[in-house]
């Protein structure tokens, strides 16, 4: 296949994207703690991003999250607050429509020890969220600003969603992302590259988080234990049965049991927390059936009630033929710029899973090169800011010209 070099219509947009104040933005944004539960930090971050994205034509809004609840250690439902989400809409009537997404939250809470930036060596910046994904947000904005400098821009419209809860599964923003994905020919998400060399993440498993709430019956542990129904033992039995059911296409991780009390009381409640990761939609169906079967067996065996809370917030993301064409476009644009681009399956999940489930092809690792994310060693390779901004800008321009994936 012949790969066309950047045309006179494209080159100025690419250079404008690479000339954006990318590193300055990353340093300013990463200096703000925006852990998923730090609502004040997320509010500050949302305001800064709204100001930054106001350079684009169109409507910039900060939207409240959808209501979310969770199960407390005592088995009761509690409301969980999340931050506002940035939504940008540009040229919604243009013939070609795209979706770009990112997240402003990090895994580092306000009380986490990892709060500051430092240079590990020239060109390698260590800091919370520099790769995952404040660097990616800077790349996205630079690419869009470059696009707007091109005469091709009027033919392409886009929506941007930058959510505040991706690191906790996007429970308050999933519906917003699904709405934004409607009628889009393709999507780009700005998670960091899967490997420091720039390799993209391809197929991804799904992920479901469940709380299994067990209701037993309390009794004196010495006088009449036979009258009790031990919820903690039932929860342990659930965990063991689920763990044994894991296999090809489905990983299962029983992660925590809440419950119990004084040693002389048969515990009457417990909550098992478990994560399941199916590889395909069929594996997800199998996982749902498996949960129901095991819950029924344990309920009968221990004479307890079990309520299932949660679901598969991240559907599996297989590599479809439609998606592969988008990956090939990104690869070809990389070749124009002298950037070797490949992809591989990965075990992680992100908002790209949700977008793909809407039938929209998505490349979800368009962000920076770096590594050690979700740890105090997280780092950004600074030269990747400009190179990936140019890559994204070229992908956008090529989609504008092709009108399809």
Regions of the chain with pLDDT less than 50: none
Q: Which CATH architecture has domain 207-314?
A: 2-Layer Sandwich (3.30)
At 138-166, the pLDDT tens digits run: 999 999 999 999 999 999 999 999 999 99
User: Which position among 10, 132, 159, 166 bears the catalytic label?
Assistant: 166
Instruction: Write the CB contacts of 174 (distance below 8 Å, at least 6 apart in sequence).
Output: 66, 313, 354
221 and 264 Cβ atoms separated by less than 8 Å: yes
Helix, strand, or coil (residue 371): strand
Catalytic annotation present for 105:
yes
pLDDT of residue 2: 59
Helix, strand, or coil (residue 186): strand
Catalytic annotation present for 159:
no
pLDDT of residue 5: 86
Nearest CA to 234 among 307, 289, 288?
307
Q: How far apart are the C-alpha atoms of 176 and 57, rounded to whole Å?
A: 21
Q: How far apart are the C-alpha atoms of 295 and 304, rounded to whole Å?
A: 10
174 and 99 Cβ atoms separated by less than 8 Å: no
158 and 91 Cβ atoms separated by less than 8 Å: yes
Considering the chain, tell me which residue range(s) the CATH 3.30.70.360 domain(s) occupy.
207-314
Number of residues assigned to the chain: 405
Q: How far apart are the C-alpha atoms of 33 and 39, rounded to whole Å?
A: 10
pLDDT of residue 41: 98
Q: How far apart are the C-alpha atoms of 159 and 361, rounded to whole Å?
A: 15
pLDDT of residue 201: 98
At 98-136, the pLDDT tens digits run: 999 999 999 999 999 999 999 999 999 999 999 999 999
User: Which position among 10, 105, 165, 237 bears the catalytic label?
Assistant: 105
pLDDT of residue 99: 99
Helix, strand, or coil (residue 33): coil
Instruction: Write the CB contacts of 345 (distance below 8 Å, at least 6 apart in sequence).
Output: 201, 202, 203, 204, 319
Q: Indicate the pTM of the whole model.
A: 0.96
Kindly provide the residue ranges of all beta strands, DSSP E only, lying in 112-230, ordered along the sequence. Answer: 118-121, 124-126, 156-163, 186-189, 200-201, 207-215
What is the third-level CATH fold of 11-204+317-402? Aminopeptidase (3.40.630)
Strand partners, 274: 210, 254
Considering the chain, tell me which residue range(s) the CATH 3.40.630.10 domain(s) occupy.
11-204+317-402
Positive or negative, the Cα torsion across 58, 62, 64, 68?
positive
Phi, psi dihedrals of residue 241, rounded to the nearest 5°: -65, -40
Q: How far apart are the C-alpha atoms of 376 and 99, rounded to whole Å?
A: 31
């Amino acid at each position: 296949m012949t790969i066309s070099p950047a045309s006179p219509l494209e080159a100025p947009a690419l250079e404008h994207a690479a000339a954006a104040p990318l590193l300055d933005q990353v340093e300013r944004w990463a200096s703000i703690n925006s852990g998923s539960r730090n609502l004040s930090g997320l509010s500050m971050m949302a305001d800064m991003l709204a100001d930054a994205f106001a350079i684009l034509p169109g409507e910039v809004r900060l939207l409240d999250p959808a209501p979310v609840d969770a199960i407390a250690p005592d088995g009761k439902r509690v409301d969980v607050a999340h931050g506002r989400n940035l939504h940008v809409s540009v040229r919604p009537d243009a013939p070609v429509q795209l979706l770009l997404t990112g997240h402003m939250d990090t895994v580092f809470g306000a009380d986490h020890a990892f709060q500051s930036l430092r240079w590990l060596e020239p060109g390698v910046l260590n800091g919370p969220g520099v790769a995952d994904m404040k660097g990616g947000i800077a790349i996205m904005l630079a690419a869009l600003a470059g696009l707007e400098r091109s005469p091709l821009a009027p033919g392409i419209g886009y929506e941007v969603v930058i959510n505040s809860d991706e690191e906790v599964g996007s429970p308050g923003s999933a519906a917003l992302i699904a709405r934004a994905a409607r009628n889009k020919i393709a999507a780009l998400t700005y998670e960091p590259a899967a490997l420091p060399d720039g390799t993209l993440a391809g197929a991804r498993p799904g992920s479901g988080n469940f709380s299994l709430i067990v209701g037993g019956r309390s009794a004196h542990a010495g006088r009449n234990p036979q009258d009790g129904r031990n919820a903690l033992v039932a929860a342990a039995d659930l965990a063991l049965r689920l763990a044994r059911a894991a296999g090809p296409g489905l990983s299962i991780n029983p992660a925590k049991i809440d419950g119990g009390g004084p040693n002389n009381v048969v515990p009457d409640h417990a909550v098992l927390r478990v994560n399941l990761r199916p590889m395909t939609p069929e594996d997800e169906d199998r996982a749902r059936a498996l949960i129901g079967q095991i819950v029924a067996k344990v309920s009968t065996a221990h004479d307890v009630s079990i309520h299932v809370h949660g679901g598969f917030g991240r559907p599996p993301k297989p590599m479809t033929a439609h998606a592969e064409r988008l990956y090939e476009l990104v690869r070809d644009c990389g070749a124009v710029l002298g950037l070797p681009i490949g992809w591989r399956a990965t075990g992680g999940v992100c908002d790209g899973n949700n977008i793909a489930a809407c039938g929209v092809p998505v490349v979800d690792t368009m962000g920076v090169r770096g590594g050690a994310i979700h740890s105090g060693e997280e780092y950004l390779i600074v030269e990747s800011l400009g190179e990936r901004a140019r890559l994204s800008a070229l992908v956008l321009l090529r989609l504008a010209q092709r009108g399809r994936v």
